[in-house]
Amino acid sequence: MTPSRADSSTGNSRSRRRSIATALSKAWLLDRISIRDLLAHEGVRGERNAELLEIDPAKWHWAHVRDRIAEPDDVLAPLRLLVEAFAQSPIASRFFSFSSLNRFCFSASSHYPWINKRLPIIAPNGDGYVVDRERHDLASALVYVESVLGEYPVTPFFGTAVDHMRPLLAEKLPAFDVRVEQRRGWRRLIVLDTAGRAFDVPSHLESDAAVAAVLAFFAS
């Protein structure tokens, strides 16, 4: 069975898009061509505010968040006024965020696995909000969230919990090779001993628990 002309055309179009995406990814990630320069090429279009990703990742993130909550049908739309206040806050806007159902969650890392332990989780509640299980109006929710974020021990950064953990484990486990490996869309933290045995560190563990897990694995 041979594909129809329409099927062949669709397949060719998809193949061209994949080739273009691969070339653009290589240009940006390996050749270090800036997004601004990539967008200057004929036929290359970028999303709104794309160039902010290289200049200020947190600002880029909040531009996306504001675009999202502007959609009246979005699950986060009931939080629009509070999220707008976060976007304008010099404390809150340093952090990143993600959503879980209709809840708005903060993270010190820009991507999953998140660094979000003990960070605020916000949900709509009538004409107010529930923040960490406590009822708030807009003003008190903002004050509470800023107080928690202002004391958080991890400085917000562009990356994942894996990137944050690697130098911590490398310092505590000098006899081992601690590295980050990219597997398709995921980043994994791997610890190897001198014999080449490897331990895949669970992303939810904090540094002390991760060290204990590594030592227990290689002692077994």
Q: What is the pLDDT of residue 1?
A: 38
Q: What is the pLDDT of residue 134?
A: 96
More confident residue, 19 or 137: 137
Mean pLDDT throughout 155-165? 94
Angle between helix axes 80-88 and 138-150 (nearest 10 degrees) is: 40
49: left (phi over 0), alpha (psi -120 to 50) or beta: left
Question: Is residue 108 within 8 Å of residue 151, measured between CB atoms?
Answer: no
Per-residue pLDDT for 123 more than 90?
yes
Q: What is the pLDDT of residue 11?
A: 65
Per-residue pLDDT for 197 more than 70?
yes
Q: In which band, very low, low, confident or very high, does the pLDDT at 2 lie, cut at 50, 70 and 90?
A: very low
Q: Which pairs from 77-84 meet CB under 8 Å and 24+ separation? A: 78/102, 78/124, 79/104, 79/122, 79/123, 79/124, 79/129, 81/138, 82/122, 82/129, 82/138, 82/141, 82/142
Give the Å distances, CA to CA, from 40 to 27, 57, 62, 108: 13, 21, 24, 32
Alpha-carbon distance of 57 to 59, in angstroms, equals 5
| pLDDT per residue as tens digits for the range 57-108 | 899 999 999 999 999 999 999 999 999 999 999 999 999 999 999 999 999 9
Tell me the domain boundaries of the chain: 5-39, 52-150, 161-219
Q: What is the pLDDT of residue 204?
A: 86
pTM above 0.85, yes or no: no
Mean pLDDT, the chain, as a whole number?
A: 88
3-state secondary structure the chain: CCCCHHHHHHHHHHHHHHHHHHHHHHHHHCCCCCHHHHHCCCCCCCCCCCCHHHHCHHHHHHHHHHHHHCCCCCCCHHHHHHHHHHHHCCCHHHCEEEEECCEEEEECECCCCCCCCCCCEEEEECCEEEECCEEECHHHHHHHHHHHHHCCCCCCECCCHHHHHHHHHHHHCCCCEEEEEEECCEEEEEEECCCCCEEEECCCCCHHHHHHHHHHHHHC
| pLDDT per residue as tens digits for the range 4-45 | 455 556 667 778 777 777 777 777 666 777 767 676 766 677
More confident residue, 39 or 122: 122
Q: What is the pLDDT of residue 5?
A: 53
